[in-house]
Amino acid sequence: TFSHAQIAPVDDNGLAIGGYDVVAYFTGEATKGSDTYTTEYNGATYQFASSENLASFKAAPTKFLPQFDGYCAWGVAEKGAKFPINPETFDIVDGKLYLFFNGPFNGENFNTLLPWNGETTKLREAAHANWKKEGK
């Protein structure tokens, strides 16, 4: 059972990563932010769990932003496609945040973090190459 449906990296209301705190990922936990601590960046609203995390983001936003505009890293690598993500499924590699699809697919649960973990270096290189082809 998954606690969250797959979401777009930025929803129709402009909320980024389902309201999860992008700074908190770097502590090893997916933590929901609060509308008490918010900021806008590149047209999206980011929420944070604390004023400290908000201040850290404001000081260096690109340090905390997820790779591939928040789309599933495995999807970009393996399929050259933009898949939605489960904000509780993530990886930090070389100081960069990667998010993943983790939920029902074709009647079964599919966690794209598992194949990513099996071939992180290869898939990370493929994802960055595919993203560059997109002109990002």
Per residue in 54-113, pLDDT tens? 999 999 999 999 999 999 999 999 999 999 999 999 999 999 999 999 988 888 889 999
6 contacts 84 by C-beta, under 8 angstroms: yes
> Does the pLDDT of residue 3 top 70, yes or no?
no
Distances (CA, A) of 130 to 38, 75, 107, 127, 136: 31, 10, 28, 5, 9
d(CA 130, CA 14) in angstroms, rounded, equals: 25
Average pLDDT of the chain is 94
Are residues 116 and 73 in contact, defined by beta-carbon separation less than 8 angstroms? yes
pTM across the whole model:
0.93
Q: What is the mean pLDDT of residues 3-16?
A: 87
Q: How confident is the model at residue 2 (pLDDT cuts 50, 70, 90)?
A: very low
Q: What mean pLDDT comes out for the span 26-38?
A: 97
Percent of residues, the chain, with pLDDT higher than 90: 88
Half-sphere exposure of 130 (CA within 13 A, CB side): 20
| Per-residue confidence (pLDDT) for residue 1, from 0 to 100 | 37
Summarize the confidence of residues 120-136 as an average pLDDT: 90
| Structure token pair of residue 112 | 């794209």
